[in-house]
Amino acid sequence: MKDYIQYLQEVLGLQNVMITPGETGAQKTSFFLPEGPFAPAEVQHAELVFLNILTQSKESLFLPETKDLFGKMKAAMKLKNLQVLELDCTVDSRGELPSELAKLIQARVVVVFSSFPKDIGELIIKGSGKWIETYSPAYLLEDPGAKKVVWNDLQKVMKELGL
C-alpha cells in the first residue's frame, strides 16, 4: 500500500492521498495507466501488453527518463498497427499475476518488465497468450549493459507477432 500511495504522489502528482481502511481490501495486485488505476468494466483485448512490475516508484514506465527509453524501445520494434497496452503494476505474488491480468485483459503476448526478472527471455504460455520476462527500462538506465539481453527478448516478441 505504501508503494501505491508513493506512486500516486510521485508519478501522478497528487498532493494528499487518503485511503480509508475499507479501500485497502484484499486486492494485492493493482494495475496503473499514466492517468491512474486501470480497472475496465469489461475484459479488454490487446495484441501486446507491456506490464512493468513496480518495486520502487522510480521504476514507472511513465516517468520522463524511463518513458523516453521505453519509447525508443517501442520505435525499434515497429509496432505500427498493433493494439498495445502499457501498464505499471504492483504485486505481492508473481504467481497470481497471470490470473489477475486475465480478469482485465486478453493479450496475445505480454512482456513483463522487472528489475529482477524470472525465467528471463523465455516465451511461456500463460492463459490465452505468451509471456516473456525481461529487464525493465528503469533497470536499463542503471545498467546499460543489459540492453542487449532486452533487445534479444524483444526480437522474440517481434517474431511471435510477425513483425
Show the cell assigned to 1: 500500500
User: In whole angstroms, what separates CA 18 from the centre of its chain?
Assistant: 25
- Give 6's contacts (C-beta < 8 A, 6+ positions apart): 57
93-121 residue pLDDT tens: 888 888 889 999 999 999 999 988 888 88
* pLDDT exceeds 70 at position 9: no
Q: Which residues pair with 88 in a beta bridge?
A: 32, 52
- For residue 24, the model assigns a pLDDT of 44
73-100 mean pLDDT: 90
User: What is the pLDDT, as a whole number, of residue 107?
Assistant: 93
Q: Domains of the chain by range and CATH?
A: 25-161 (3.40.470.10)
- Per-residue pLDDT tens digits for 21-72: 334 444 578 999 998 899 898 999 999 999 999 887 788 999 998 999 999 9
Residue 154 pLDDT > 50, yes or no? yes
Residue 105 burial (10 A CB sphere; 0-12, 13-18, 19+): buried
Complete DSSP assignment for 3-66: HHHHHHHHTS--S-----GGGS-S---EEEETTEE---SS-EEEEEEEEEE-SSGGG-TTSHHH
**Amino acid 94: pLDDT:** 82
Name which residue leads in pLDDT, 121 or 128. 121
Q: Is the dihedral of CA 64, 68, 73, 77 positive or negative?
A: positive
Model pTM? Answer: 0.81
